[in-house]
């Protein structure tokens, strides 16, 4: 009887250790994926603020869309455009006013290692002066492993 109990306890201990190890590996993978998502968002915000059209294509798949909404003078302004049209719009601006948008807090929801929904809480700065608090939202989709 005690042998069966010992065997059951030993089996439980081994299964529990394996489960904890798998959870730690999953947790490390999840943290690594979250760090990669943060990196992509930060790289985009830096490139966008500097109007760096050379850096942006590496961050998007060819079929990407970009949309936005902003509240100005009590009225919402929204847009949706292809990534290509977004780049063309940036290229057409003469002497654009550069800005920075450092993120103070990320909220990231991930699904199956393929999809990330990101809320980035940031303050927009122009000429070193804070202009507005922004909540930027991103949907990132892994394509071809990247």
Look up the pTM and report it.
Answer: 0.76
pLDDT beneath 50, residues of the chain = 1-23
* DSSP track, 52-68: -TTTGGGGS-TT-EEEE
Mean pLDDT of the chain: 83
Give the pLDDT confidence of 11-42 residue by residue, as tens digits: 444 444 444 444 455 566 667 889 999 999 99
Here the contacts of 138-143 (C-beta below 8 Å, separation 24 or greater) are: 138/41, 138/44, 139/115, 140/37, 140/40, 140/41, 140/115, 140/116, 141/61, 141/114, 141/115, 142/113, 142/114, 142/115, 143/61
d(CA 123, CA 135) in angstroms, rounded, equals: 9
State the pLDDT at residue 25. 52
State the pLDDT at residue 144. 82
State the pLDDT at residue 21. 43
d(CA 36, CA 113) in angstroms, rounded, equals: 11
State the pLDDT at residue 108. 95
State the pLDDT at residue 26. 58
State the pLDDT at residue 29. 64
CA 28 to chain centre: 17
């Amino acid at each position: 009887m005690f042998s069966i109990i010992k065997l059951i306890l030993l089996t439980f201990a081994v299964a529990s250790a394996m489960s904890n190890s798998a959870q730690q590996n999953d947790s490390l993978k999840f943290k690594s994926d979250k760090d990669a998502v943060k990196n992509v968002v930060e790289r985009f915000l830096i490139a966008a603020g500097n109007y760096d059209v050379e850096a942006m294509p590496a961050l998007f798949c060819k079929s990407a869309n970009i949309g936005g909404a902003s509240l100005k003078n009590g009225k919402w302004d929204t847009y949706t455009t292809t990534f290509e049209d977004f780049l063309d719009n940036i290229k057409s601006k003469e002497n654009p006013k550069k800005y920075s948008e450092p993120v103070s807090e990320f909220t990231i929801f991930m699904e199956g290692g393929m999809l990330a929904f990101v809320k980035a809480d940031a303050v927009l700065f122009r000429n070193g002066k804070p202009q507005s608090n922004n909540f930027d939202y991103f949907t990132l989709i892994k394509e071809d492993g990247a």
